[in-house]
Amino acid sequence: MTTPDQDLPGHATPDIAERLRDPWDSLHAYAQVMDQETGGPVLYDAHRLTEGLQETVLSYMSDPPRMEDGSTAWLALLKPRQAGASLTAELGGYVKAAYSPGWEHDCIADTQKRAEYLHGRVHFTHERWPREVRSPTISAAERKQLTFKGVGGSMQVLSAERDSVGIGLSPDSLHGSEV
């Protein structure tokens, strides 16, 4: 019998698995994102675009506050456009889905084009994640979702342009981008 952590790349120890599923630790250690100036990959930096916005998103995704009844409090951001909050939320969802057993992360963006763009940025990061700790996916051909082998996590993007978007979903984390 195996434990969920044994299904992680390299049979990560419980301590390493815990750090891998923490967006704050994982993204700062391993994430590469597209640099819009050069068009090439650069290491993720929560302070590159804003002083505290991306830090707020990462802190929330790492340890979300709880209500008195135990439910997770929502994080609502009023922010300028192109500040990196949506990408940070999606990369946080990536880490949770890639390393947390059975975790489902969904993103609902205002348009299908925006949803696909955001998810493409997640694929960009996933493809550059170090192989020794990268969580393998079911299929390399997935473009609108990622499903992780062994761990059983997944992430998908949806568009607010669709009728009844989100009806029937029960994700572990949900990101509404420009909604």
Task: Judge whether 87 and 58 are in contact, CB under 8 Å.
Answer: no
Q: Give the per-residue pLDDT at 2.
A: 40
Q: What is the pLDDT of residues 121-137, one digit of tens each?
A: 999 999 999 998 899 88
Question: Which band of pLDDT confidence, cut at 50, 70 and 90, is reported for residue 161?
Answer: low
User: Residue 30 corresponds to which tokens in the numbers above?
Assistant: 């391993």
Question: Which band of pLDDT confidence, cut at 50, 70 and 90, is reported for residue 31?
Answer: very high
| pTM of the entire predicted model | 0.85
Q: Average the pLDDT over each of 97-101, 106-110, 136-140, 158-162 and give the range with the smallest value.
A: 158-162
Burial 130-155 (b: 16+ CB within 10 A, else e): eeebbbebeeeebeebbbbebbbbbb
